[in-house]
Copies of this chain bind each other. A is one copy, B any other.
Amino acid sequence: MTRAELEHFIKEVFPQVAADFTVEDVAPMEITMRLNVAERHLRPGGTVSGPSMFALADVAIYLAILAMIGPRALAVTTNASFDFMRKPAAGVDLIAKCRLLKLGRVLAVGDVLLFSEGMEAPVARASMTYSIPPAA
């Protein structure tokens, strides 16, 4: 799936959160996503919340998988692991750089680095496993 197809898919299937995210770039086994940071993603002090970082990492790995195998809304996260390493900078978007490490018939594994836009050191690291339903 292309960047446009992924953005269309997410608007169709997850209308509640589609506005939160932008697909920045897609390549084989890789994706870069943006969290369009708004008031609802913040904690006191202007830092992006943990659940918002979870959401960004999760959608990045999900769309990286769909970009490779096509739209299957029913893929589900079975495992997630996070290291929160630095406080996100206030007032800037969060960028997720994701790579797929495994794309099997049943399980896919990806990892993600999250960056405050314009910073070199990552704010968080995440890895997730998705369970992929059989193709219809």
- Which residues of A are interface residues toward B (Cβ below 8 A)? 13-14, 16, 40, 42-44, 49-52, 54-55, 58, 73, 76-87, 101-102, 104, 106-107, 109, 111, 113, 121-122, 125, 127, 129, 131
Contacts and interface: CB of A to CB of B under 8 A. Distances in A.
Contacts of A107: 78, 131
User: Chain B CB within 10 Å — which of A73, A78, A104, A109 has the most?
Assistant: A78
Given A54-B50, A101-B125, A109-B125, A81 B82 contact: yes
Copies in the complex: 4
Contacts of A83: 78-79, 101-102, 109, 127, 129
User: Chain B CB within 10 Å — which of A42, A50, A86, A122 has the most?
Assistant: A50
A82 B85 contact: no
A83 B100 CA distance: 12
B125 A111 contact: yes
